[in-house]
Amino acid sequence: MYIVSYKEVGPPFAPQEIKRLRRENMDMCRKHGQPVILRHAWNQEDVIDEYAQNCPACWDPAYSQVRNDCPVCYGFGFASLELTVNRDLWITEQGVITETTTPDEGWVRVPRYGGFGEPVLTWLMEPDVAVDVYRINQEGVMVRTYDAQGVAPWFPNLGDNDLCINAVLAPNDYSIVETRDRFQLKLVQQITMRGFGKMGRPQGSIAYKVAQSFQMSKAPENSSLYDIPWDIE
């Protein structure tokens, strides 16, 4: 798991004004926010950019469909290119994960990360909202949910459908004691501004990201999002 440090404000060549804004935003998130575990949701653009692949366990190229009960991607259809640390974990031709030192022909290694990327521990601002809102999900079932506007530091880069897991930390601020509600991010927007160098001269057309805003939708307790592991080695 990658742990975001509050001292991470960008490379040395970033303007000092931008670094100060990033640091102030992170300080606000740490003081008034919530520690969370973020996992980026792989998408087709990641496949094109060769950051991810179609799920090797359940992807059907003929119909472009996946299995909802897939043990690798959990029904999201994508997986990382990086393979699991355990070299004895394999995916059979039936899409089942098995552990063996003598795999059959046609079996493939299990990806390290499933439908979501590497877990990242950071802090987000999550405002309190009413939870007595009921909506119809994709299966046509009325479920209780709520949306809220949130604020995040400039790093890591957030995207729509990313998984957000509320966490409880130990006093050392990096050991996770337990996890709680899970959300999916949407309507993510990067907050950028122009950087200014020495004597206030503009640095061309470069725009620096200083914060991010988003909406978050709480997942029902019976959602498959609660099956996705956060403690990946």
Asked if the structure places residue 233 within a domain, the reply is no
Would 206 be classed as within a structural domain?
A: yes
Same-domain pairing of 178 and 98: no
Same domain, 137 and 24: yes
Classify residue 182: in a domain, yes or no.
yes
Domain's final residue, options 95, 116, 137? 116
Name residues whose C-beta falls within 8 Å of residue 229's C-beta, 6 or more positions apart in sequence.
none
Residue 126 lies in a domain: yes
- Provide φ and ψ at 81, rounded to 5°: -75, -30
Residues 108 and 128 in one domain: no
Same-domain status, 89 and 129: no
Boundary of a domain, candidates 116, 148, 166: 116
d(CA 205, CA 231): 40
Last residue of a domain, one of 116, 148, 182: 116
Q: Which residues of 103-130 are buried (b: 16+ CB within 10 A; e: fewer)?
A: beeeeeebbbbbbbbebbbbbbbbeeee
Residue 70: DSSP 8-state: -
Q: Give yes or no: residues 139 and 204 share one domain.
A: yes
C-alpha span between 82 and 100 (Å, rounded): 19
Q: Are 127 and 112 part of one and the same domain?
A: no
| Whether residue 86 is found in the same domain as residue 160 | no
For residue 34, the model assigns a pLDDT of 92
Question: 60 Cβ partners below 8 Å, 6+ apart?
Answer: 66
What range does the domain containing 123 cover? 2-40+118-226
Q: Determine, yes or no, domain membership for 59.
A: yes
- Does residue 10 sit in the same domain as residue 95? no
Q: How many domains does the chain have?
A: 2
Q: What is the pLDDT of residue 14?
A: 84
Query: Rounded to whole angstroms, how far apart are CA atoms 14 and 50?
Result: 28
**pLDDT one-digit tens code per residue, 99-140:** 999 999 889 999 999 889 999 999 999 876 655 566 666 667
Long-range contacts of 23-30 (CB under 8 A, 24+ apart): 25/151, 25/153, 25/154, 25/210, 25/211, 26/123, 26/153, 26/154, 28/125, 28/151, 29/122, 29/123, 29/124, 29/125, 29/151, 29/152, 29/153, 30/6, 30/123
* pLDDT in the model for residue 208: 85
Q: Distance (Å, rounded) from C-alpha 147 to C-alpha 145?
A: 7
Please indicate, yes or no, whether residues 29 and 73 belong to a single structural domain of this protein: no
136 and 214 part of one domain = yes
Residues 59 and 26 in one domain: no
pLDDT, one tens digit for every residue, the chain (233 residues): 888 887 888 888 888 888 999 999 999 999 989 999 999 999 999 999 999 999 999 988 888 888 888 989 988 899 999 999 999 999 998 889 999 999 998 899 999 998 899 999 999 998 766 555 666 666 676 665 556 678 999 999 999 999 999 999 999 888 999 999 999 898 899 988 865 555 445 555 567 889 999 988 888 888 888 989 988 76
Is position 232 within any domain? no
- What pLDDT is stored for residue 207 in this prediction? 76
Give the type of residue at 161: N
Quote the pTM value. 0.83
Beta 97-99 vs 108-109: how paired, if at all? Answer: unpaired
198 in the same domain as 173: yes
Note the pLDDT of residue 129: 60
Rg of the chain over Cα atoms, rounded to whole angstroms, equals: 20
Residue type, 182: R
Look at residue 231 and tell me if it is in a domain.
no
